[in-house]
Amino acid sequence: MFLETFSTEAFIFLGAFILISGVLVAKFSNRLGVPALVLFILVGMVIGSDGLGIVYFDSPQVAQTIGIFALIIILFEGGLQTKWETVRSVAVPSASLATLGVLFTSAIIGSAAYLIFDVTFLEALLFGAIVGSTDAAAVFATLKERNIKARMGATLEAESGANDPMAVFLTLSFIELIRYPDMSIWALIPSFFWQMGIGLGVGLLLGKVASWSINRIKLESSGLYPLFAVAFALLTFSLASYIEASGFLAVYVAALVVGNSELTYRYAIFQVNEGFAWMAQILMFIILGLFVFPGQLFTATVMLNGFLLSFILIIIARPAAVFLSTLGMSYTLKEKLFLSWAGLRGAVPIVLATFPIVAGLENAQLFFNVVFFIVLTSTLIQGSSITYLAEKLKLTGPVKDNPHHSIELISMGKANAEMIQFKTTKQSAIVGKKLHEISFPQKANISAIVRDETLITPYGETEIKEEDFLYILVSSKYKEPLKKVLEEKKK
C-alpha cells in the first residue's frame, strides 16, 4: 500500500505530480512517436518501489477497482464520441470481431501458452482469455487524432468498445472452472447469453432514460450536466453488474444512445467527459505501472516468454481471428491486414490479469508479469506504427477536425435557449448563400462564424462558405426546425 508516513500534503503533492506528469506525457507522446499509455505506465514504474521508491503499492484489489472505474469512464466517453451513422455500417463485423475474434484469439494464445508454460490446459486458456481482447483505452487514444479511414476507425473502436464483455466473461468463467473442477462448461452458455443480452437491454434502456433526463431537468449550472451524465454511466454499470449482466457492454451501449441523441449542453457534456477520460487513463495506467515491479518483470524468463507470445499474438493469433471473423464480409485484403495490426492490447488485459491474483490462483503472478510485458510490446510496436501502416496501405482519410475555438456561455437553462455549433460541408445547402437568403426559424440567430481560425461577425450580406463553424443561438423550441435547415443537402 501507500507509505503510511505520507502526510496529507504529501498525498496532495503526489496527486498533483501524477496529473502534471500525465498531461505533459500526453502532450509529448505524439512528438516522440510513443503511445501515451506506455509513458503513463513508465511514470508509475519510475515512482514505484523498484524505481525512485516514492510509492510502494502492491494491492491487486485496489488496482482492480481503480482499473474497472477508469474503464467505465473511458468506455462512456468513447461511446459518446462514436457516431451511429458510422458504426451502423460496421456493426456486424465489429460484433463478430468482439465475440468470435476474442474466442479465436484466446484459443490460439491459450494453446501456445500451454506449450510454453508448465500449466494445465484450463490455466493456459485463462491466460489466452486475459489477452484475447483489444483495449478501448488504447484504441480510442491511438486513433483519436490520427487520420485513419473512417470505416477502419469505426470498426476498431466499435470492436474495442464491445469486446471487453467477452474477455471478462471468458476470464471469470475459466477462473471458476479452475476453482471448481466439477463445474460443467455447458453451464456457461446460458450465462453468456444472459450477460450479453441483458447488458445490451440495460444499456439501451438507461441510455434513453439518461438522454430524457438530461433534456428535461433544469439545473442551475451548466457544469452539472456532465456530472449528471457520468453518474448515469456509473449507475448503468452497477445495475447491470448487480443482475449479473455485462456492465461494460451496458455502459458502451448507453453512451452510444446518449451520444447520438439531441442533448442540452451537448458540448459541455462532451468536453468535460473527455477531460474525465484523460484523468481516468492517467490514473489507471500510472497505478498499473506502480503495481508492477520491474525487477520481476524484466527477467530473462518473463521477457523471453513475453516476446514469444507477443510474436504469436501479433503475427498469428490476431490475423487469424480477423480473417476468420470477417469471412464473407466486404473487407479487402489491405483492410484485413490493417485490422490485424491495429488490434492493440492495453489496460483491459492488465486489469483482467489481476483477477487470478485476487482469486489466489497458482501461477497468477507469472501470468500478470507476462501479460504486462505483452501489453508493453503491443503498444510500443503496433501503436507507434499504425499511422505509417495506414499510409502504406492507403487507408488514410481526411485529417480530423479538432477546432480550438470555443464559446463559454452562462447557464441558460431557465431561459430555455442553447448555443448550437455546426460545421458546413461541401454538400451543405446553405453554402454559397448569404445570411438574408437562408430561411432560419424564429429565434435562431447566428452569433458568430469562425473561418480559418478567424472570428467573423455575421450580418445579412455575409456569405456562408465550406468548412465554416457557425455558432447559432436558438430557443430550444426551434432546435428541430433549425437542424433541418442546417442538415439540408444540395440538390
Closest CA to 248 of 351, 379, 179: 351
Q: What is the CB neighbour count within 10 angstroms for residue 54?
A: 16
Contact predicate 60/358, CB 8 Å: yes
Range ranked top by mean pLDDT from 153-167, 301-315, 375-389, 412-426: 301-315
* Greatest pairwise CA separation for the chain in angstroms: 79
Per-residue pLDDT at 81 exceeds 60? yes
The answer to whether the CB of 233 falls within 8 A of the CB of 251 is yes
Q: How many CA atoms lie within 13 A of 206 on its CB side?
A: 28
Backbone angles phi, psi at 302, to 5 degrees: -65, -45
pLDDT at position 475, please?
Answer: 77
Across 426-437, average pLDDT? 86
Whether the pLDDT of residue 116 is over 50: the answer is: yes
pLDDT at 6: 53
Give CA separation, 370 vs 109, 269, 301, 341, 363, in Å. 12, 38, 9, 20, 11
Compute the distance between CA of residue 439 and CA of residue 117 in angstroms, rounded to an integer.
71
The DSSP H or E segment spanning 307 is helix 300-311
Q: Which of 237, 240, 242, 236 lies closest to 213, judged by CA?
A: 236
Mean pLDDT of the residues in the chain: 82
Number of H helices, E strands in the chain: 22, 4
Do residues 102 and 163 make contact, with C-beta atoms less than 8 angstroms apart? yes
* Sole residue written with cell 505533459: 24
Return the pLDDT at 32.
58
d(CA 65, CA 283): 12
CB contact set of 336 (below 8 Å; sequence gap of 6+) = 319, 322, 323, 326
SS3 content of the chain, % helix, strand, coil (to 5): 65, 5, 30
Greater pLDDT, 292 or 209: 209
What confidence tens digit (pLDDT) does each residue in 91-112 have? 888 889 988 999 999 999 999 9
- Beta carbons within 8 Å of 166's beta carbon, 6+ residues apart: 98, 99, 102, 103, 132, 133
Grid cell at residue 141: 487514444
Q: What is the DSSP string of 371-431?
A: HHHHHHHHHHHTGGGHHHHHHHTT-B-SPPP-----------TTTTEEEEEEE--TTBTTT
The one-character DSSP state at 385 is: G
C-alpha 353: how far from chain center: 19
| Residue 145 DSSP symbol | T
pLDDT band at 477 (very low <50, low <70, confident <90, very high): confident
Residues 357, 365 contacting (CB under 8 angstroms): yes
Q: How many residues does the chain have?
A: 491
Report whether 19 contacts 281 (CB < 8 A).
no
Task: Taking residues 418-446, report their average pLDDT.
Answer: 83
Residue for grid cell 503495481: 291
372 forms bridges with which residues in the sheet? Answer: none
The model's confidence at residue 457, banded by pLDDT at 50, 70 and 90, is: confident
Query: So what's the pLDDT on residue 234?
Result: 94
**What is the DSSP-derived secondary structure letter of residue 398?**
S
Residue 382 above 70 pLDDT? yes
Residue 396 to residue 450: CA distance in whole angstroms: 27
Element (H, E) at 125: helix 121-130
DSSP string, 70-97: HHHHHHHHHHHH--HHHHHTTHHHHHHI
Residue 192 pLDDT class (50, 70, 90 cuts): confident
Given this model, what pLDDT does residue 2 score?
Answer: 47
Section 222-229 average pLDDT: 85
pLDDT at site 141: 67
pLDDT in tens, 267-289: 778 888 888 888 888 888 888 78
Which distant-in-sequence residues (6+ apart) come within 8 Å of 404 by Cβ? 453
Cα dist from 98 to 2, 67, 103, 419, whole Å: 37, 20, 9, 38
Mean pLDDT to the nearest integer, 28-41: 68
Does residue 404 contact residue 392 with C-beta atoms inside 8 Å?
A: no
- 324 — pLDDT class (breaks 50, 70, 90): very high
pLDDT at 108: 95
d(CA 274, CA 76): 10
Amino acid 35: pLDDT: 65
Looking at mean pLDDT, say which of 217-231, 264-278, 313-327, 366-380 comes out highest: 313-327
**CB neighbours (10 Å) of residue 30?**
13
Contact in structure between 316 and 100 (CB atoms under 8 Å):
no
